[in-house]
Amino acid sequence: MLGDGFRWWIERVRATLQTVDIARIDHFRGFAACWEIPGGDKTAERGRWVEAPGRELFTAIRKTLGEIPIIAEDLGVITPDVERLRDDFGFPGMRILQFAFSSDTKNIDLPHNYHRNLAVYTGTHDNDTTAGWFNSVAGEGSTRTEEQISSERNFCMEYLNTSGQEIHWDFIREVLASVADMAIVPLQDLLGLGTEARMNLPNSTKGNWTWRFQAGALTDAHRDRLRHMTDIYGRIRRREVESMELDQNTA
């Protein structure tokens, strides 16, 4: 692909951005280095890290398509080379609020540790819903122990100053109120649905991707409450200001 100037990648990104406004690149760390496995092996045990030409790839894409609206999925253990690649191209990284309460106050997923160039989520397609996470019980599809669940729930309630009665709205408020440029809320969280509406359970092969939004589930009350929060935390105004600045720069 490097030999032909990443033509396939460029056309893939071009086609994707005809469908969506912003593209999230999954497993972004693989563009700095990837785990290479011998073709005949049945497991990944004998692999090795191999440098990937991510810098050349994104340079070629940008040269052809210009500035591209990309979110870098940088979850998990991220090495300095991955951070440099992400930051040198200005791609926002990710934070997940559900991950915020499992350690201490230095946890990068806690909102007081956010910075501007981030996309923050209440949870993603790989998480339980917020209500499902908060009300989870050890052994019922959860990988956490009862002690871990209790510790995270108590920290969560203290941090958010909530009883958890409307935990999904507490989470929505927190990501919207943060300094992060982008706040993303899955529809299941907006509706306050539980584990039955979970989208995907990683490392499982059954029951995934079956939830469907039903017409009529969203009400005027949902709309008005979300609109109010979006407005009160300046996200409508922020987008309007950015548009004004873009118009002025263009002029």
- Number of CB atoms found within 10 A of residue 218's CB: 14
Q: Phi, psi at residue 50, to the nearest 5°?
A: -125, 130
State the catalytic residue, choosing from 88, 126, 146, 240. 126
State the catalytic residue, choosing from 26, 88, 158, 166. 26
- Closest residue by Cα to residue 31 from 87, 75, 71, 86: 86
- Interior CA angle at 239 toward 128 and 116, to 5°? 60
Active-site residue flag, 81: no
CA distance 213 to 26: 24
Report DSSP letters for 33-59, one per residue: EEEE--TT-SSSTT-EEEE--HHHHHH
Active-site residue flag, 73: yes
Distances (CA, A) of 199 to 42, 72, 205, 206: 29, 21, 12, 11
Active-site residue flag, 26: yes
CA distance 144 to 142: 5
Looking at 123-166, list the stretches that DSSP marks H as alpha helix, in order from N- to C-terminal side: 130-134, 146-160
Which H/E stretch holds residue 236? Answer: helix 235-250
- Closest residue by Cα to residue 209 from 125, 122, 130, 133: 125
CA distance 50 to 139: 38
Catalytic annotation, residues: 26, 73, 126
